[in-house]
Amino acid sequence: MHRKRQAYGTGNEGFTLMEIILVLVLIGIMAAVLVPTLQEGVQSYTATETRGDLTSQARQAASRITRELRNIQKEADNTPNISSANVTTVTFVDVLDNTITFNLSGGTVQRNSDALVEQVSNLSFRYFDATNAELTSLPLDAANRNNVRRILVVLTLADGGLTVLVTEQAYLRELTGL
Domain ranges of the chain: 32-171
Q: Which residues contact 70 (CB under 8 A, 6 or more apart)?
A: 170, 171, 172, 173
> Are 156 and 118 contacting, i.e. CB atoms less than 8 angstroms apart?
no
Distance CA 93, CA 86 (A): 16
- Say whether 166 sits in a helix, a strand or coil: strand
DSSP state of 78: S
User: 125: which strand partners?
Assistant: 153
Find how far residue 23's CA is from the centre of its chain.
48
pLDDT digit of tens for each residue in the chain (178 aa)?
666 665 565 556 788 899 899 999 999 999 888 888 888 888 888 777 878 888 999 999 999 999 999 999 998 888 999 999 999 999 999 999 999 999 999 999 999 999 999 999 999 999 999 999 999 999 999 999 999 999 999 999 998 888 999 999 999 876 644 4
DSSP state of 137: S
Q: Which amino acid is at 84?
A: S
- What are the two backbone dihedrals, phi and then psi, of residue 65, each rounded to the nearest 5 degrees? -65, -50
